[in-house]
Amino acid sequence: MVALEPHTQTRRLAPRGRTTEHLKTGLTHVSLVALAGLLCAVFLCYPIIDTFWLSVHNVNEFGQTQGFSGFANFATIFRDPAFRGSVLRSAVWTVVVVGVTTVLGLFVAVLLNQPWRGRAIVRGLLLLPWVASLVVTTLLWQWIADPDFGALDHLARTLGLIHTNIAWLGNGNYALPLMMWIAIWVSVPPTALILLAGLQGLDRDVYEAASLDGTRGSRLFLDVTLPLLRPVLTVTVLLNVIFVFNSFPIIWILTEGGPLGSTNTLPTYMYNLAFELNEMGAAAAVAVVMFFILLAFSTLYTRLAWRNVAR
């Protein structure tokens, strides 16, 4: 294989044939990544740059810019109490959903990693909440939470927890916790299955050595399994944070951020601003804020995770 490290000295000295050879190899390599690079540039990078551009301009409802506006869009959203509420709810939403998901996912993964009858069936069925689209699972939960005919009220009544039906989604106190639960419910299976794959990849010899040392049960889990699983766990948490922070369909389908904005998170707040209120510039500013929140988190998190691994 010809490494294409451009070194002016040798290149000048090289015979003509070799130079064209280099060029050909270089072109081949470029052609391999060309389409992927082009698609990412046009449909990922350009929109990001354009979002930044829009956020510092006055923008009409068709997305056309009408003059530079500095940080006016940012000032507008920072003044809006609904924006501040959405930031807070997004933070709570992400921390609770990812936290609970990781704990439950790890628990499920550990139990699925042990041999028992029917394990394969449970593992297969656990794919269901994952493969069903969020629209389908969200509608299913809307039906389950139906105040007249829903299974949730029926179950709670059967267990004697409530005596009159609750309109879960129409009540500002219950709507957001229920949606958090739905988000956890859809996130646990994929998290568990990825962690399970990680567990299965662990070296059995390490366990044997540890068990010869007399390490047992929960100590074994805490001292051997968890540290070994750390790289997979780190990536899982990072991906879940990105995914959950940006989660849109659950809230939009169930309440569109209502009642009275009590379930608005940053994605629904932004969507409402852009496509219901036609405030494209301000909405772009929200997107920029979201981008930086995730960037800051990812950078900090990977730094910390890596430092711990290195130590």
Partner 1 sequence: MNREAELSLDRIVRGSSLGRLIARICFSVLVLVLLGPFFVMLSTAIASNRAVVAIPPTWLPDQIAFSNFREAFTVIPLSRYFLNSGIIAGGATALNAIAAVPAAFALARLRFRGRRAFLIFIIATQMISPVVLLIASFKLMLVLHLLNTYWALILMDGTISLPITIWIMTAYFSLIPQEVQDAATLDGVRAWRMLKDHFVPLGVPGIVTALIFSFVIAWNEFVFALTFITNPTMRPLTTGIYAFMGQSQIQWNYLMAASLLAIIPVFVIFLIVQKQLASGLSAGAVK
Binding span for partner 1 by CB under 8 A among 15-23, 71-79, 90-98, 248-256: 248-256
Interface residue with partner 1 among 175, 232, 251, 254 (CB under 8 A) is 232
- Contact yes or no for 218/173 (Cβ under 8 A): no
Query: Interface with partner 1 by CB under 8 A: which range of 13-21, 71-79, 168-176, 237-245?
Result: 237-245
Report d(CA 214, CA 216) in Å as an integer: 6
Options 80-88, 92-100, 172-180, 246-254: segment touching partner 1 (CB under 8 A): 246-254
Between residues 48 and 88, which has the closer beta carbon with respect to partner 1?
Answer: 48
Q: Is 82 in the site for partner 1 (CB under 8 A)?
A: no
Contact residue for partner 1 among 79, 204, 307, 311 (CB under 8 A): 204
Minimum CB distance to partner 1, residue 173 (Å): 22
CA distances from 58 to 65, 68, 281 (A): 6, 6, 6
CA distances to 44, 45, 126, 215 from 285, in Å: 17, 17, 39, 54
- Smallest distance from the beta carbon of 64 to partner 1, in angstroms? 8
- The span of 1-9, 13-21, 91-99, 172-180 binding partner 1 (CB under 8 A) equals 1-9
Q: What are phi and psi of 68, to 5 degrees?
A: -70, 140
91 binds partner 1 (CB under 8 A): no
| Segment 250 to 309, residues that bind partner 1, using CB under 8 A | 252-253, 267, 270-271, 274-275, 280, 283-284, 287, 290-291, 294-295, 298
20 binds partner 1 (CB under 8 A): no
# binding residues, partner 1 (CB under 8 A): 109
Among 132, 156, 228, 305, binds partner 1 (CB under 8 A): 132
Nearest approach in angstroms of CB 40 to partner 1 is 6
Give residue 81's identity as a one-letter amino acid code.
Answer: P
Tokens 């005919």 identify what position? 149
Q: Which of 14, 23, 30, 222 binds partner 1 (CB under 8 A)?
A: 30
Sequence letter at residue 34: A
Q: Which of residues 98-127 bind partner 1 (CB under 8 A)?
A: 104, 107-108, 111, 114-115, 122-127
Interaction of residue 67 with partner 1, rule CB under 8 A:
no
Whether the link from the prior residue into 259 is cis, omega within 30° of 0, is: yes
Least distance (Å) between residue 306 CB and partner 1: 14
Burial of 17 (C-beta count, 10 Å sphere; 0-12/13-18/19+): exposed
- Looking at the Cβ atoms of 174 and 207, the one nearer to partner 1 is 207
Interface segment toward partner 1; rule CB under 8 A; list 66-74, 79-87, 94-102, 133-141: 133-141
Selected binder of partner 1 within 14, 23, 33, 309 (CB under 8 A): 33
